[in-house]
Amino acid sequence: MIEHKEQIKKISIGILIGLLVFGISISIFNPTQASLLGLIAMMVVLWTNEGLPLAVVSLLPIILFPAFSILNTKATAINYSHPIIYLFLGGFLIAIAVEKTNLHTWIADKILSLFPNTPRGMIFSLAITSGLLSSILSNTTTTLLLMSIALFITEDVKLKLRFALAIAYGASVGGIMTPIGTPPNLILLGIMSDKGMDAIPFFQWMWMVVPLAVLMFIVVSMLLSLGVPNVPLDRVNDKKPLEKNQKKVLYIIGGLIFMLLLNAPMKPFWSGLGLSEAGMLLAAGLILFAPPFNILEWMEDKAKIPYRIMFLFGAGFSIAKAFSETGLASEVASYLITMTELHPILLLFAVAMLITFTTEITSNTALISIMLPVIYSVSIQTGINTTLFMMVATLCASYAFMLPIATPPNAIAMSSGVVNVKSMMKYGIILNLVGIFCIVMIAEFFWKGILS
């Protein structure tokens, strides 16, 4: 009975905060837009205080968006079949196979032999490894491939949480290092091309952005290392040769990585085949059920698939769609025009704050697609270097660390079962603010000289 009362209290708090946000928003936005903001606020509270199970809250848009005339049922539900959800499913099937065959113990031993055998050493190494891979592979793919390994390096639940966050945050930090590392980067280059602006060469991009990424790697790793005892981890030391099933899984992972690395340069040649990262990962996951592999069995292994995170992805994509369809994204963006009288550096901070914290509750890809054309117009009016202004917005869209729906790596960290929303928000709010400060400062005192 006490548990039920506590749950009712948490749900009531979520509803009250939703009503409060609606009441404030109705004086600024139209009723539909205000309703959307109120519902988002309620869902964020329920995700945070766990008043309802994460999966239940994530399915609420299918009911509430049509009820409040935000999106119809079909337009909402279709977001729960987004391709990235199947990329996640394929990656997690591979992770289940790695755990089932005990391959993770062998891989963990190899990792521990390369880096300092301490919790702090592993936090630094996981963040950097995740970031470097994310600069050439998608951050979603990288996080999926590394997560299952990191969770079995230690039995300490608190260390598991920090290792999982090191991978997720490292993937977001490293994804900005190349133009192909994350979708918002590619959207920026596409819009620059459409506007007739000079493209940023590949190596100039890296020269500009790598210092920022290195700085953020250090901040992420040091923050997650606070309070961690600097004692040696227990080594796996499994010197036995790989078993037959372990080799099978290793071959699939190796073949998958090879295909993913070839995907970008070979895309013009095999685009007719319809190959994509989502398709490749799902294929790699499904083949584990078939001969000659036969590693996974549906009846035995289906319970390990984190369907709640698949629903969480769907909720994130639904919110992004609602932002666009209700005109809320454009409405918010229009307020930037009123800030054009601010000092240029204050305007950069305002844009960085707006993009970073809006990304927490909507897709960074959708958000940056909507915002960049507006930011282009604002920069023309203010006289700020247009490329500089758009770069700041684009990188801030990838630097959202607070909520699981903000980025796929955050959601995957949640799916591990060792990360809760409170912990993610505790570390994430600090990293959001540090990221905003670092991006604006580097833009003002480093990029400006390169782009002028």
Copy the structure tokens of residue 333.
Answer: 């963006």
Q: Return the amino acid letter for 306.
A: P
Copy the structure tokens of residue 37.
Answer: 């903001």
N- to C-terminal Cα distance for the chain?
66
11 contact partners, CB below 8 Å, separation of at least 6: 46, 51, 52
Q: How far lies 372's CA from each of 349, 388, 436, in Å?
A: 16, 12, 17
CB burial readout 120-132, b (16+ within 10 A) else e: bbbbbbbbbbbbb
Copy the structure tokens of residue 70.
Answer: 């935000």
The position carrying tokens 């509803």 is 15
- What's residue 344's pLDDT? 79
> How deeply is 249 buried, as exposed, middle or buried, from its count of CB atoms within 10 A (0-12, 13-18, 19+)?
buried
> Mind listing the pLDDT tens digit for each residue in 200-242?
887 888 899 999 999 999 999 999 999 887 777 765 555 678 8
- What's residue 239's pLDDT? 63
Do residues 259 and 234 lie in contact, with contact meaning Cβ atoms separated by under 8 Å?
A: no
Do residues 147 and 413 lie in contact, with contact meaning Cβ atoms separated by under 8 Å?
A: yes
CA distance 105 to 70: 48
Number of Cβ within a 10 Å radius of residue 235: 12
Q: Which conformational region is residue 342 in: left (phi greater than 0), alpha (psi within -120 to 50 degrees), or beta?
A: beta
Measured N-to-C along each axis, helices 202-225 and 157-174 cross at an angle, to the nearest 10 degrees, of 160
> Mind listing the pLDDT tens digit for each residue in 85-118?
887 788 888 878 887 888 866 776 676 667 777 8
In a structure prediction context, what are the per-residue pLDDT tens digits for the chain, which is 452 residues long? 567 888 999 999 999 999 999 999 999 999 999 999 999 899 988 987 888 998 899 999 999 999 999 999 999 999 898 887 887 788 888 878 887 888 866 776 676 667 777 888 889 988 988 888 888 677 777 888 788 777 777 788 888 999 999 999 999 999 889 887 777 887 788 888 777 888 788 788 889 999 999 999 999 999 999 988 777 776 555 567 888 999 999 999 888 878 877 765 565 555 555 667 778 889 999 999 999 999 999 998 888 888 887 888 788 788 878 887 888 877 776 776 677 677 778 888 988 998 999 888 776 776 787 778 778 877 776 677 889 989 999 999 989 899 887 888 898 898 888 888 889 999 999 999 999 999 999 999 999 888 87
Q: Which of 367, 366, 372, 335 is nearest to 350 (CA)?
A: 335
- What's residue 196's pLDDT? 82
Q: Is the dihedral of CA 290, 295, 301, 307 positive or negative?
A: negative
Do residues 380 and 386 lie in contact, with contact meaning Cβ atoms separated by under 8 Å?
A: yes
DSSP 117: S
CA distance 145 to 92: 8
12 contact partners, CB below 8 Å, separation of at least 6: none
- Reply yes or no: is the peptide bond before residue 201 cis, omega within 30 of 0: no
217 contact partners, CB below 8 Å, separation of at least 6: 124, 127, 128, 131, 170, 173, 174
